[in-house]
Amino acid sequence: VAILAKHYGIPFYVLGPTTTIDRKAMTGEDIKIELRDPEEIKTMWYEKPMAPMGVKTYNPAFDVTDNELITAIVTEKGIVKFFIC
């Protein structure tokens, strides 16, 4: 979505609490992505299973968007804008 927004000149905002901003991370490679229980996307929230038994799943808690695609992060304390040097 961020790539499409950039292509069409549409600002792209990320919403999140300030606790998710790691000022020590120099690049997205420095961010550890938590992997959640596969059952969250297969059975946990559903009346019937959403995937066949034994299917492998990948359930990251979040993804990392290239900072060049983000206009700003909206937090509970205000807006954090990105400036690319």
User: Structure tokens of 49?
Assistant: 């299973």
Question: What confidence tens digit (pLDDT) does each residue in 11-34 have?
Answer: 999 998 988 888 888 888 888 899
The predicted model gives 71-85 an average pLDDT of: 81
Task: Tell me how far apart the alpha carbons of residues 5 and 33 are, in angstroms, rounded to a whole number.
Answer: 24
What HEC string does 35-71 produce? ECCCHHHHHHCCCCCCCCCCCCCCCECCCCCCHHHCC
d(CA 19, CA 7): 30
The mean of the pLDDT values for the chain is: 88
- As a whole number, mean pLDDT of residues 44-59 equals 88
75 secondary structure, DSSP code: E
Residue 83 confidence (pLDDT) above 90 = no
